[in-house]
Amino acid sequence: MIDASKPDLTRRIAVLGAPIDIGASQRGTLMGPAALRTAGLLTLLDGLGFEVNDYGDLLIDDVADLDDAPPDNAKHYREIQRWTRALSARAYELARSGAIPIFLGGDHTLSMGSVNGIVRHWHEIGRELFVVWLDAHADYNTPATTLSGNMHGMSAAYLCGEPGLDSLLGGEPRSSIEPDQLELFGTRSIDKLERDLLRDRRISVADMRQIDEFGVGVLIRRVIDKVKARNGVLHVSFDIDFLDPSVAPGVGTTVPGGATYREAHLVMEMLHDSGLVHSVDIVELNPFLDQRGRTARAAVELIGSLFGQQITDRPTPTNAIGSSD
């Protein structure tokens, strides 16, 4: 167990893998955590001056099934429920330790557990957690709106307290965010009923049309300014299909027209400079579909930018990641 009485060591990172791939239609993301480690993620973070603690991959073998009635149109509900309960408890523990948790996926159902636990921690100390959802998809379906029944497409909606998966956590506390604390960024594939729900909830969506028109710098600055104005903190949920498939082919749900390599780096650099990021998910890497590790390496390089790696030697702002609350 982690000793929550330890001081907040602002240069400490806690890495946890969650090899789950049943939330998506394409299997293989269970190999994502190993691929990210193999591509040098831990070495890179260590080289940036962080104390990196790798807690390995989460196991759910000893997590018992619950006896609630599974909802319709939620494939593999029971096993995802076990993952979500285990991840929420572990995420809460890691956040309380004062480290910056990085969760290695795995498909995007990971965030139902990881973000829930992180939100619970920040609620307890009176801070709002905002979630930047870097993703080609909105993931704002519910069992009532989904076309596929794949639960990785319900993860953002679940975090905002939408109904339909109300028993997913069992006895684990559910800690939702408000719809205006979710920032969809890079979106370019939204189902019709999902779009209606996003409009009703007034979810902020920076789609690729807006990125083309205004540029990623302007749009991510709006997010940063909003969070700072409310004394909030940020969780970055990085689905690798945020990137254009020409940059990152190793995902199961490629959508053309995504962020370029340089655009993605600028987003990560600006998020780092903001000093607001206190937790991260990296999801949907499917090494089975990758080209000689190309996507894994790109993801690691982008996480490097998120944690302060620079191409030039310009001064790092004093309010960078890990430097302040």
Q: Would you please indicate which residues are annotated as catalytic (active-site) residues?
A: 108, 135, 137, 139, 152, 239, 241, 284
Residue 148 and residue 188 in contact, taking contact as beta carbons nearer than 8 Å = no
Find, among 92, 87, 148, the residue nearest to 120 by Cα.
Answer: 92
DSSP single-letter state for residue 311: S
**Which residues make Cβ contacts (< 8 Å) with residue 199, sequence separation at least 6?**
none
State the chain's maximal CA–CA distance in angstroms: 56
Query: Residue 293 corresponds to which tokens in the numbers above?
Result: 């590790």
Which residue, among 230, 325, 214, has the nearest Cα to 279 in the 3D structure?
325
List the one residue out of 247, 220, 258 whose CA is nearest residue 137: 258
Q: d(Cα 137, Cα 190) in Å, to the nearest integer?
A: 6
Residue environment code for 170-193, b if the CB has 16+ CB neighbours within 10 A, otherwise e = bebebbbbebebbbbbbbbbbbee
C-beta neighbour count of 319 within 10 angstroms? 13
CB atoms within 10 A of CB 29: 33
Cα dihedral 146, 281, 159, 241 in deg (nearest 10): -30
Partner residues linked to 16 by β-bridges: 103
Count CB neighbours of 64 within 10 A: 9
Cα separation, 77 vs 80, in Å, equals 5
Q: Which amino acid is at 32?
A: G
